[in-house]
Structure 1
Amino acid sequence: PLVYLHGLPGGPDELKLVSERVDTFAPDLRDGPVSDQIKARFGATPVTLIGFSLGAFGAMRFAADHPSQIAHLHLIAPAAPLELGDFLKDMAGGPIFRMARNHPWLFRLVTRVQALVARIAPDFFARQVFALSQGKDAPLAADPTFRRDWSAVAQTCLSGGAAAYRAESTAYVAPWSGVLARVGVPTTIWYGTADNWVPPAMAEALAQALPNVACVRQIMDGSHYSTLAAALPHIMAPSGDQIAFS
């Protein structure tokens, strides 16, 4: 079984932005703890767990706490602990994460403003979020359909899922590198060489810190969502199928 943990702001439907496959279980943070949802769905059956962006934070915590339930861990454009390096200055979301860490009250206020803008001016909101897009994310950001669909996902997260969004973001910016030593399951890391949301240095630092990284895949000129789009076909391919890697 495949389980996908979404980024933030994001949601289960974010998977549909870049993949036609819809039979992957994608827990929704609005529905409670991810661990409870996975166990309720699959019991003790080991799963292939995919964590994208900030979803990698939850994926690594689940893998650390429930290693017997993980067959393989795939971390795509993974948000690693901030204490592994000086990353915030190179992250498109750096100001938001810095705010969440240093000024939680202001972060709460800003997320409310984000929710309002996403609701009344969704395309404007998407354009602002993707204004600094580079690499292979640039064509996605220029696509009105992608912006519309992404805005719908973000709007759901920032409105009905705002509490979960704030809680997960606040937990992420706190120190948590101690979790990494307990992530002993086989792990593959996918990162884009042009990612300015999760910079390559962050992914490389994570690869050095995790104890059982089986493979590190670079997506040349890949940024954030384009790295997700490139990685998913390989992860989702039926066993034995060969897909050309680029």
Structure 2
Amino acid sequence: MFCHGKPGSKADATLLLNVNPDADIVAVDLLANTPEDVDVAFSNALHSKVIASHNRGVVLVGFSIGGMAAIKIAATRPGFVSRLVLISPAARLSMGNFLQGMAGKPVFELAMSHPKLFRLLTVFQGLMTRWSPERTAGAFFRNCGAAERALFEDPAFQASLNQALEECFLRRPDAYLAFINAYVTDWSETIDLVQCPVELWHGTNDTWSPPEMSYPLAKRFGEKATLRMVEHAKHYSTMSQVIL
């Protein structure tokens, strides 16, 4: 079960499928639900894919801010989640001094302090995406490294990125806004409710979710956590190296 990031969509899972072609990956459409309803999306997919087949539990994967959704789901469904995998996870902002090193700093600052301006920014991003999703995507990847640049030049990745931008900024901006607003509130208490083993994969050169985010997460999860730092990888390029 895969929880995508923000901006993001179910198409983000294609990077995992490229590395794990034999994996049976079900991408949860988080934009179909408000953040407090992510468990609803999980339950629907769980019913069709797990209960109807083996009823053996699932590996739950969360990418970037989708890690928050994955943590919440694992916390509320301990009997069904056998393993939690967090890739480039965005930790709760209060867990460290992360904001200064995050590429999305202006977005999160607006969400926390100026919600009306945050909504206006999202409207503007929607207009930019409608005019040219390629230019909007290029702005996100303007300062990316070599590994991320190689991904960005892949037509399949460009297509999934364009889909993510259109989903978040054009088709379902209210769900995107709600999810970011949920992320900047305090959700860290759910970390303590996770019971299954946890793997954290983080690129050492990540600037969207700084690698320092995984250290307090691993410490909070305790002995059930395994931290895997991916040398020289950035945000999306870390996901392209995860073996499930």
Structure 1 length as normaliser, TM-score? 0.87
Quick check: 2:28–2:45 contact (8 Å CA) kept in 1?
Answer: no
Quick check: 1:133–1:141 contact (8 Å CA) kept in 2?
Answer: no
- Say whether residues 1:52 and 2:59 are aligned partners: no
Match of 2:3 in 1: 5
- Say whether residues 1:27 and 2:28 are aligned partners: yes
Match of 1:203 in 2: 214
Quick check: 1:184–1:211 contact (8 Å CA) kept in 2?
Answer: no
**Pairing partner for 2:241 from 212, 230, 246:** 230
Deviations 1:21-76 (A, max 9, x none): 48411111233333122222324632110000010000001111111111000000
Match of 2:225 in 1: 214
Quick check: 2:30–2:41 contact (8 Å CA) kept in 1?
Answer: no
**Pairing partner for 2:173 from 144, 158, 162:** 162
Match of 1:129 in 2: 140
Match of 1:37 in 2: 41
Alpha carbons of structure 1 residues 64 and 195: separation in structure 2 relative to 1, 3 Å? same
Instruction: Answer 1 or 2: which has greater helix percent.
Output: 2
Alpha carbons of structure 1 residues 148 and 25: separation in structure 2 relative to 1, 3 Å? closer
Q: Which moved more, 1:117-126 or 1:174-183?
A: 174-183
| Secondary structure, aligned partner of 2:62 | strand
Distance 2:153 2:43 in 1: 39
AA aligned opposite 1:109: L
Deviations 1:131-171 (A, max 9, x none): 12125213223445533431222212222221111101001
- Bigger RCO (CA 8 Å, 6+ sep): 2
Q: Which moved more, 1:41-50 or 1:104-113?
A: 41-50
| Secondary structure, aligned partner of 1:68 | coil
Distance 2:82 2:212 in 1: 27
| Secondary structure, aligned partner of 2:229 | strand
Structure 2 length as normaliser, TM-score? 0.88
Distance 1:158 1:17 in 2: 22
Distance 2:85 2:150 in 1: 25
- Structure 2's unaligned 5+ residue stretches are none
Alpha carbons of structure 1 residues 88 and 23: separation in structure 2 relative to 1, 3 Å? same
Match of 1:16 in 2: 14
**Pairing partner for 1:173 from 164, 184, 209:** 184
Quick check: 2:11–2:163 contact (8 Å CA) kept in 1?
Answer: no
- Computed over aligned residues only, the root mean square deviation of the Cα atoms, in angstroms, reads 1.8
Match of 2:81 in 1: 70
Quick check: 2:42–2:73 contact (8 Å CA) kept in 1?
Answer: no
Distance 1:207 1:41 in 2: 28
AA aligned opposite 2:29: D
Distance 1:41 1:5 in 2: 12
Deviations 1:192-230 (A, max 9, x none): 011001111111121111234331111111101000111
Fraction of identical pairs, as percent: 35
> How many pairs does the alignment contain?
231
